């Protein structure tokens, strides 16, 4: 998928919502545990109930790997289900990978070719040759951590490095890498005031914004400071939507939560586009 196609989908659906798929067997409705693949059944129901309100799904690989081979099979079924039934939806493997060049190539192959995701999240610590193998894939997108939504973000990401915070240096340096037009960035919603500075460095890039919902970020603040003239935001919500109810009405309640966020987004889009 191209960023232009993603942009068009956002305007059409009046939504820049991405739903995080973090399926935890201790949290999903108990009646699903009787099915053969509870994780897939859970994801499928959430997807069917929300696909017209969202432009993206972001399965978090940890929540599949924790269940071993069975979990990896659920991940494959989930991405296949999205690609077959809702091919216009932007898919993100939230994997936060990154390693030396030949290893990153194998990760890129895993997520872009074997699983056929549109994008994957990566960590910047190992630098250029750990990220460029991902960037080499045409019409695939590499979403690099810049400023994350957790407390630990302040341990290293905001350290002063030669006069600027590390996350700003990460953004600036990454723009010099080959095929950097395939980069997007993770910027946590819990730090809306940082978006102004970030937009000075990467005015045109899509930002994936976690931290809305369970982590406490404000959608209007994020849009005020982070939106660009192509929208340029994918706002992720996971727990607040997928665990809106633990009962048999979980998909219906998930839709209600997603609809509530999408309505707020529609108002913002109508006002600005």
Catalytically annotated residues: 96
Taking the complex as a whole, how short is the minimal distance between the CB of residue 106 and a second copy, in angstroms?
4
Nearest residue (CB) to a second copy, 177 versus 225: 177
Q: Which residues bind a second copy (CB under 8 A)?
A: 22, 24, 60, 62-63, 65-69, 71-73, 76, 94, 96-104, 106-107, 109-110, 114-115, 123-131, 145, 148-157, 159-162, 166, 169-170, 173, 215
Taking the complex as a whole, how short is the minimal distance between the CB of residue 104 and a second copy, in angstroms?
7
Nearest residue (CB) to a second copy, 7 versus 96: 96
Taking the complex as a whole, how short is the minimal distance between the CB of residue 98 and a second copy, in angstroms?
6
Nearest residue (CB) to a second copy, 110 versus 136: 110
CA-closest candidate to residue 145, choices 156, 161, 129, 133: 156
Nearest residue (CB) to a second copy, 129 versus 249: 129
Taking the complex as a whole, how short is the minimal distance between the CB of residue 218 and a second copy, in angstroms?
18
């Amino acid at each position: 998928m191209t960023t232009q196609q993603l942009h068009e989908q956002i305007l059409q659906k009046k939504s820049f919502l991405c739903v995080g798929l973090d399926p935890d067997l201790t949290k999903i409705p108990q009646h699903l545990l009787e099915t053969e693949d509870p994780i897939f059944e859970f994801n499928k129901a959430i997807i069917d109930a929300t696909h017209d309100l969202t432009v993206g799904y972001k399965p978090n690989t940890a929540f599949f790997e924790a269940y071993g081979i069975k979990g990896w099979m659920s991940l494959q079924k989930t991405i296949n289900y999205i690609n077959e039934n809702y091919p216009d939806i932007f898919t993100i493997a939230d994997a936060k990978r990154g390693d030396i060049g030949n290893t990153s190539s194998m990760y890129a192959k895993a997520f872009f070719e074997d699983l056929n995701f549109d994008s994957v999240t990566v960590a910047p610590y190992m630098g250029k040759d750990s990220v460029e193998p991902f960037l080499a894939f045409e019409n695939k997108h590499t979403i690099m951590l810049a400023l994350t939504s957790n407390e630990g973000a302040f341990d290293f990401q905001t350290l002063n490095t030669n006069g600027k915070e590390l996350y700003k240096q990460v953004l600036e340096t990454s723009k010099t890498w080959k095929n950097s037009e395939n980069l997007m960035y993770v910027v946590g919603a819990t730090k809306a005031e940082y978006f102004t500075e970030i937009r000075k460095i990467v005015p045109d890039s899509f930002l994936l914004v976690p931290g809305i919902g369970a982590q406490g970020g404000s959608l209007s603040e994020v849009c005020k400071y982070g939106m660009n003239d192509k929208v340029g935001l994918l706002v992720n919500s996971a727990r607040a939507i997928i665990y809106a109810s633990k009962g048999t009405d979980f998909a219906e309640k998930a839709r209600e939560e997603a609809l509530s966020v999408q309505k707020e987004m529609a108002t913002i889009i109508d006002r600005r586009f």
